[in-house]
Amino acid sequence: MKKTIKVRHRNFGSSYKYTVGRDILRNEISKAKNKYRKIVIVTDETIDSLYLNDFENDFEIAKVVIKPGEQSKSFQTLEYILNEFSRFGLKRNSLVVVVGGGVVGDVAGFAASVYMRGIDFWQVPTTLVAMVDSAIGGKTGINTEYGKNLAGAFYNPKKIISDLIFLDKLPEKEVKNGLAEMFKHCLIADKKLLDGLIENPKSLDSVLNSAKVKIKIVEKDVLEKKERKYLNVGHTIAHAIEKDSNFEIAHGQAVAIGIMLEAQISYGLGLVKKSDYEYILAGLNKLGLETDYTIRNFESFIEFMRADKKNAEAVPTFALVIVPGKKIAVLEVSIDNITKILNA
Ligand code: ADP
Ligand code: ZN
């Protein structure tokens, strides 16, 4: 069983397919052998040892394996991947299959975008976050010594293949990171999706429904405008929490906390009804997402939000839930109000 939807990126004038199913990758790769001269898989050590061992015996397919973790979003790893592509003799008629979470997706997607000025690639997201979020939207890149994602490109894959087999051994913590983004998608688009999500987060429909929310938004506008800002629900605070915690708090976990605190701001400003505010808190709870966090340094926490590149005037901007599943408003909230509400 698999389901496929078409993703149209108007800004790029191109489209590609997003497919979700169980145990579908191998078959897709077999078919690709008829179309492409050479195929290389890029993945990380963890995913390689858990799922990709048997590609070892496939002489038509090369493999580039990098270290897992954020440190791999670096110039060194990019250089390593590009050199491996050359060593394997990849040409413009070759295919790069990127199998991994957000880290591998970003660095290997970027490598595909610059190798010989751009070569075909597939995203095969292996984490829940990547399946419903980071693999979609064409963002690729690495970190520099000055910050995260400072070098990169918008570059779309030819296909996104979400194979549910990869979720079988995904650690619980990673599942929760995905759930936070999936809940965010319910809050933006349709709160009816929440029940299915709670019941079976790793099901084909949960993944597809959530992915669709992101797909619909990036289709409208691939280059960071209007609706794309709705995806920032919970994220203004999440980014500040990641920094405040010295990145000890994972992104998804920070998003859960961010959704909670931003709902508090929304409620404190009188923008969301009490029952809807409670609905948001209950939703986080039902999904088993932890929201306890003590801000270590409130002053720098506020500074992180002001310095967020999305703000024109250094007043923090939020995508606040007004009606769950129906209405989001993108607005600035004064430092005074934030401080008052969060310290109340
Ligand atoms: P994301 O940014 O999507 O959360 P990362 O690329 O940082 O993902 O991956 C998080 C961690 O989970 C990495 O250590 C990675 O090797 C591991 N991982 C990724 N996919 C799987 C999977 N399907 N099963 C088990 N571990 C995985
Ligand atoms: Zn996020």
Q: Which one of the ligands is nearest to 100 CA?
A: 1
| Phi, psi for residue 191 in degrees, rounded to 5 | -75, -10
- Counting ligand 1 atoms within 8 A of each CB, the residue from 127, 163, 214 with the most, and so the one to mutate, is 127
Region 251-279: mean pLDDT is 97
Per-residue model confidence (pLDDT) at position 224? 57
Tokens 């009188």 found at: 270
By alpha-carbon position, which residue is closest to atom 6 of ligand 1? 101
Lowest model confidence (mean pLDDT) among 9-23, 138-152, 286-300, 323-337: 9-23
Dump pLDDT digits (tens) for 305-324: 887 655 555 889 999 999 99
Q: Is 117 among the catalytic positions? A: yes
Q: Which one of the ligands is nearest to 180 CA?
A: 2
Dump pLDDT digits (tens) for 115-137: 999 999 999 999 999 999 999 99
Q: Which one of the ligands is nearest to 232 CA?
A: 2
CB proximity list for 324: less than 8 A, separation 6 or greater: 186, 187, 191, 276, 279, 280
On average, the pLDDT of the chain sits at 93
Region 52-59: mean pLDDT is 80
Q: Predicted confidence band at 193 (pLDDT cuts at 50, 70, 90)?
A: very high
Q: How far is the CA of 287 from the centre of ligand 1 (A)?
A: 20
Q: Is 30 left (phi over 0), alpha (psi -120 to 50) or beta?
A: alpha
By alpha-carbon position, which residue is closest to atom 27 of ligand 1? 170
Q: How far is the CA of 3 from the centre of ligand 1 (A)?
A: 23
Q: Predicted confidence band at 43 (pLDDT cuts at 50, 70, 90)?
A: very high
Per-residue model confidence (pLDDT) at position 344? 79
Region 15-43: mean pLDDT is 95
Q: 0.75 exceeded by the pTM? A: yes
Q: Is 290 left (phi over 0), alpha (psi -120 to 50) or beta?
A: beta
**The two structure tokens encoding residue 296:** 């270590």
**The two structure tokens encoding residue 171:** 């650690």
Answer yes or no: are the C-beta atoms of 72 and 107 closer than 8 Å: yes
Q: Is 9 among the catalytic positions? A: no
Dump pLDDT digits (tens) for 200-231: 999 999 999 999 999 988 887 655 567 888 99
> What is the C-alpha to C-alpha distance for residues 281 and 275, in angstroms, rounded to an integer?
10
Residue 85 predicted with pLDDT over 80 = yes
Look at 282 and 228; give whichever has higher pLDDT: 282
Side-chain-side CA neighbours of residue 308 (13 Å): 22
Per-residue model confidence (pLDDT) at position 104? 98
Residue 35 predicted with pLDDT over 90 = yes
Region 159-177: mean pLDDT is 96
> What is the C-alpha to C-alpha distance for residues 131 and 53, in angstroms, rounded to an integer?
22
Per-residue model confidence (pLDDT) at position 171? 96
Side-chain-side CA neighbours of residue 77 (13 Å): 27
Ligand 1 atom showing the smallest separation from residue 167 Cα: 23
- Counting ligand 1 atoms within 8 A of each CB, the residue from 67, 110, 163, 174 with the most, and so the one to mutate, is 174
DSSP string, 38-49: -EEEEEEHHHHH
- Counting ligand 1 atoms within 8 A of each CB, the residue from 43, 46, 52, 104 with the most, and so the one to mutate, is 46
Per-residue model confidence (pLDDT) at position 15? 87
